[in-house]
Chains A and B, each alone.
Chain A
Amino acid sequence: MARKQYYPYLIMTVPFFILVVLFNYVPLWGWVLAFVDYSPGRSIADSSFAGLKYFRQLFDSTSDFRLVLRNTLVLSFLQLLLTPLPVILAIMITNVRKRWYSRIVQTVTSFPHFTSWIIVYSVFFAFFSIDDGALNKLLYSTLHWIDEPSNLLADERYSWWLMTFATLWKTAGWTAIIYIAAITGIDQEQYQAAEVDGASRWQQALHITVPGILPTFIILLLINIGNMLNIGFDQYYVFHNALVHNRIEVIDTYTYRIGITELNFSYATAAGIFKSFVSITLLFAANRFSRLATGHSIM
């Protein structure tokens, strides 16, 4: 191929490629911060080398990091326990005989996925806040079923459950749609054959649908396991308050608070790097385990 012919295509790609490098790869130099005693305003070259000091600090007895790690793992684990629910939802939706009804259910339940966590927080606040929440209006002020207004959003006994419920509320409908797509991909002849053999719909679900969507389920599960420490920033930042801090602070929000609020850049970066490494290790381990056990892999 003569040079002239690929020249225009290089002009199309190289500038955007540089943009990608600038915003995704160049910032990686910042990882150096975790290994030096950096303070804002000074240049990195002037900062003295600190070795693994900040990584050791993460696991000091004085550090909150262990608490944060526990919260992250507990919340991720609760989410992992719920992974079968969207599958069940998808099977239920595909078993509805009236088309319009299943369409409405799909449309309505997947909507929260497309709103931000701030909207979700505002919705939860509208229902659960102690001052003017709909739940307290109904149960306390109107029906007098409870003796004192409930304050779910600021009660650390319920935080983990509330967060899990919020995740479920926001994502279950959407995740179900992914499974519905997988169910639609199953060969319809299998169902017809089963019908002829007199299999009930329950048996069909168990023996055709479930095996049919297993690969999708395993892929999503593996991604979730790989992301156990990447539980996300948005949800836990918006639901955070002083009273639930000990239950809701996760690695991402911790990194933000230590770094951006308290300006302890080196320590915060070390926490971030620790998270990335564990995530990658988990992802590879889960992938390897899956390939050995089931033959399905994601990479």
Chain B
Amino acid sequence: MQHIRLKPGERAFDIANVLVLGLFGLLTLYPFYYIFIYSISDPMEALRGVYLLPRGFSLDNYRQLFQEQNIVWAFFISTSRTVLGTVATLIGCTIFSYGISKPFLPFRKLMYGTVIVTMYISPGIIPLYLTMREYGLYNNFLVYILPSVVLAFYVILIKTYMEDIPREMEESAMVDGSTAFQTLWKIILPLCTPVLATVAIFNAVNQWNTWVDNLYLAPTPGLQTLQLLLYAYVNQQNAAMSMVTSASMSQHAIVLTPTSVQMTITFVATLPILLVYPFMQRYFLKGIMLGAVKG
């Protein structure tokens, strides 16, 4: 607690400060809260307007959502690209960073520089589109994974971290006859868990949120992500307001409204981020700091 007596001006500043910040906090928090309470409201009741508490209570939205084949599939695609993409990025960036952190590696500067410059150049949509077609990656699930196996920013983070590990640690392992891969696996990896956790979380969130590649490199319905499905849904609703009625398994008709369905998909698409967010908070400041120093 503060022991210093505050001047009136300081007190006024404190109060105004807390109030304005609170207001800004509400401005970002309430929309997500609103979407959540709308999605668990009774769809018909909700049409009268939802404000602070859900109107009625119903999980019909969720029940119905998970019976729609294309939604479940999109969820599966999004999850797959998130999990596989993150594993691939972790493997690629770790192995590459370890190799590149060795001062005696031939072409080290050239290879590292070439990777870093990718942060500043972009071929653009059309050249990428044509090249992916040439590679046979158009409408191919791998187009979500392969281009992001080695990403410059993560390489910077991991390499910087590895260079701070005392050299004696691996030298003693090398003397014992361990190969480079064994040393990486047994000695270096365990020491790198904090930075690898940062990269994993950042990358997972990115993968989950990315949809532009879905839009122009994999437009086939079989590869649709949850994000693009949500977008298509909001836009359809934009074009035509219509009631969605469908018979449920338990014989009685569930009536959903386009808005209630939209809220539910939105919440399902936000939930994974919400779940990893507490972990991100622990790591992202570290990420910024490292990035600021080396970037």
In the assembled complex, the CB of B290 is this many whole angstroms from the nearest CB of chain A, namely 11
**Chain B: number of interface residues, binned into ranges:** 35 or more
State which size class the interface on A falls in: 35 or more
Chain B's nearest CB lies how many Å from the CB of A263?
10
| Contact (Cβ within 8 A) B131 A119 | no
Interface residue SS majority, chain B: helix
> A121 and B32: CB pair below 8 A?
no
Contact mask for chain B residues 6-34; partner A; CB cutoff 8 A; 1 contact, 0 none: 01011001100110111011011101101
Do B228 and A118 have beta carbons less than 8 Å apart? yes
Task: Verify A24–B118 contact, CB threshold 8 A.
Answer: yes
Complex Cα spacing A137 to B28, Å: 20
| CB-contacts of A7-49 with B (<8 A) | 8-14, 16-17, 19-31, 33
- Does any Cβ of B come within 8 Å of A122's Cβ? yes
Query: For the complex, is A116 an interface residue (Cβ under 8 Å from B)?
Result: yes
Of A28, A92, A126, the residue contacting B262 (CB under 8 A) is A126
* Interface-located stretch among A65-73, A102-110, A156-164, A286-294: A102-110
Contacts of B265 in A (CB 8 A): 122
Collect the chain B residues with CB atoms within 8 Å of residue A105's CB: 21-22, 24-25
- Please determine whether B31 and A19 come into contact, CB atoms closer than 8 angstroms: no
Contact B127 A116 (CB under 8 A): no
* Whole-angstrom distance between the Cβ of B206 and the nearest chain A Cβ: 9
Q: Which residues from B are CB-within-8-Å of A142?
A: 49
In the bound assembly, the distance between CA atoms of A20 and B149 in angstroms comes to 8
A92 and B28 within 8 A (CB): no
B135-155 vs A, CB cutoff 8 Å, 1 = contact: the mask equals 100000000001101100000
The B-contacting residues of A in range 243-272, CB under 8 angstroms, are 252, 255-256, 259-260, 265, 268-269, 272
1/0 contact string of A75-113 vs chain B (CB within 8 Å): 000000000000001001101110001101101110110
Interface residues of B in 44-72 (CB under 8 A from A): 47, 49-51
Pair B125/A123 contact, Cβ less than 8 Å: no
B102: Cβ under 8 A from any A Cβ:
yes
Please give, as numbers and ranges, the residues of chain B lying within 8 Å of A95 by CB-CB distance: 13-14, 17
Contact of B105 among A10, A25, A92, A268 (CB under 8 A): A10
Pick from B25, B47, B126: contact of A30, CB below 8 A. Answer: B126
Bound-state Cα–Cα, A63 to B184, Å: 56
Choose, from B192-200, B247-255, B281-289, the stretch at the interface. B281-289
In the complex, chain B residues 63-119 whose Cβ is within 8 Å of any chain A Cβ: 92, 95-96, 98-100, 102, 104-106, 111, 114-115, 118
Question: In the assembled complex, which residues on chain B have CB atoms less than 8 Å from the CB atom of A107?
Answer: 277, 281
Sample of 8 more A-B contacts, CB < 8 Å, known A202-B13, A260-B129: A16-B149, A20-B118, A28-B121, A104-B25, A126-B266, A132-B241, A177-B288, A216-B292
The 6 A-B pairs of least Cβ separation, nearest first, read A30-B127, A12-B99, A272-B124, A13-B99, A8-B180, A27-B123
Interface residues of A (CB under 8 A from B): 1, 5-6, 8-14, 16-17, 19-31, 33, 89, 92-93, 95-97, 101-102, 104-105, 107-109, 111-112, 114-116, 118-119, 121-123, 125-127, 129, 131-132, 134, 137-138, 141-142, 169, 172-173, 177-178, 181-182, 200-202, 216, 233-234, 237-238, 241, 252, 255-256, 259-260, 265, 268-269, 272-273, 275-276
Residues of B within 8 A of A (CB): 2, 7, 9-10, 13-14, 17-18, 20-22, 24-25, 27-29, 31-32, 34-35, 38, 47, 49-51, 92, 95-96, 98-100, 102, 104-106, 111, 114-115, 118, 121-131, 135, 146-147, 149-150, 179-181, 184, 205, 208-212, 215-216, 227-228, 230-231, 234, 237-238, 241, 257-259, 262-263, 265-266, 269-270, 273, 277, 280-281, 284-285, 288-289, 292
